[in-house]
């Protein structure tokens, strides 16, 4: 009997995943976004195995060159290969975006579940969320970075310290929308009969949350995750463009934009390539998020 139930559940799970994929494939923008995003990730992490030039190698004789066979994206004012720098910067920008998204997702899901499930702390948590939403985020980011940048650099090194600071700053200022979305879904799910039956059976509260609440709000969490990556990449790029991100010898897409802005008239490609990388990444992630949201729509799955 147990084996039969397990077989039925496996088939149901496989059928759901198959329907989900079919609905995702029916979204042209989502498929195109997935292809572009996979290409960017592969180019960023596998490209250095093919284009083996050191991104920090200085060649003064080749400075400010246009695209060529030796340097497909050209060079900067110090002779750095721009293709190597864009790939190296993409590794950091994507790592910051995904790590900050995970932090914001964990915080937002935690606050949203607690707020929606436990009525006695709902008001307090939502007022804290409103407080964070009311804060001017960019000045807050600048103040936090200026206060803790030197301390973390001294403790963890100039690169790791800034990475930890940027991820923490973006993560703790980006969880509020996820918390509100998850709270709304939890309020709808916790009044369902299967949740009430689980409570009536004497199941511990944490088990009700883990077994019944979280699986039913996972669709909203997945959509927030995809959109959170795009938001984190834009925020990191903005901070780096303002000169408050990673050091100049540790390129990110935002830092490359910042360094290339002064040479826009001399060598426009220095701004074109990192800007294009940011735009394509953010656009592709947003399309993937839209496709996931549509695919998880119960009306679409039923159809």
Q: Is residue 91 part of a domain?
A: yes
Q: What percent of the chain has pLDDT over 90?
A: 14
pLDDT over 70, % of the chain:
92
Residue 81's DSSP bridge partners are 75
In a domain, 5, yes or no: no
Q: Is residue 61 part of a domain?
A: no
* 187 domain-assigned: yes
- The answer to whether residue 119 sits within a structural domain is yes
Report the CATH number that the domain containing residue 143 is assigned in CATH: 1.10.3720.10
From residue 88, give the alpha-carbon distance in Å to each of 50, 138, 149, 156.
13, 26, 22, 21
How many distinct structural domains can be found in the chain? Answer: 1
Domain membership flag for residue 249: yes
Helix pair angle (176-189, 122-134), 10° resolution: 150
Is there a domain that residue 10 lies in? no
Q: Which tokens is 91 given? A: 């590794």
Whole-number pLDDT of residue 291:
85
pLDDT in tens, 125-173: 999 998 888 887 778 777 888 888 888 888 887 778 888 888 888 888 8
| Residue 169: domain span | 28-53+74-302
- pTM exceeds 0.85: no
The Cα–Cα gap between 95 and 188 comes to 34
The verdict on residue 35 lying in a domain is yes
pLDDT for res 8? 36
Condensed to tens digits (0 to 9), the pLDDT of residues 81-134 reads: 899 999 998 998 899 889 999 999 999 999 999 988 888 898 899 999 988 888
228: which 2 tokens? 């959170």
């Amino acid at each position: 009997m147990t084996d039969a139930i397990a077989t039925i559940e496996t088939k149901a799970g496989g059928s759901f995943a198959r329907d989900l994929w079919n609905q995702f494939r029916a979204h042209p923008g989502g498929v195109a976004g997935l292809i572009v995003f996979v290409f960017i990730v592969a180019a960023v992490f596998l490209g250095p195995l093919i284009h083996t030039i050191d991104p920090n190698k200085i060649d003064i004789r080749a400075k400010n060159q246009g695209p060529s066979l030796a340097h497909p994206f050209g060079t900067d004012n110090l002779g750095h290969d721009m293709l190597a720098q864009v790939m190296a910067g993409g590794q950091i920008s994507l790592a910051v975006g995904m790590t900050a998204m995970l932090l914001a997702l964990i915080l937002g899901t935690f606050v949203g579940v607690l707020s929606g499930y436990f009525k006695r702390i709902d008001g307090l948590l939502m007022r804290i969320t409103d407080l964070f939403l009311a804060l001017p985020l960019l000045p807050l980011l600048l103040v936090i970075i200026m206060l803790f940048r030197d301390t973390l650099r001294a403790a963890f090194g100039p690169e790791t310290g800034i990475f930890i600071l940027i991820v923490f700053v973006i993560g703790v200022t980006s969880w509020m929308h996820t918390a509100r979305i998850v709270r709304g879904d939890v309020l709808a799910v916790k009044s369902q009969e299967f949740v009430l039956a689980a409570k009536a059976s004497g199941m511990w509260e944490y088990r009700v949350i883990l077994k019944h609440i979280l699986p039913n709000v996972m669709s909203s969490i997945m959509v927030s995750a995809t959109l959170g990556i795009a938001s984190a990449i834009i925020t990191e790029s903005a901070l780096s463009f303002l000169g408050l991100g990673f050091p100049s010898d540790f390129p990110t897409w935002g830092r490359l934009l910042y360094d290339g802005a002064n040479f826009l008239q001399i060598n426009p490609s220095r701004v074109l390539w990192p800007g294009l990388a940011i735009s394509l990444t953010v656009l592709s992630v947003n399309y993937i998020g839209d496709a996931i949201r549509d695919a998880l729509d119960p009306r679409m799955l039923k159809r």
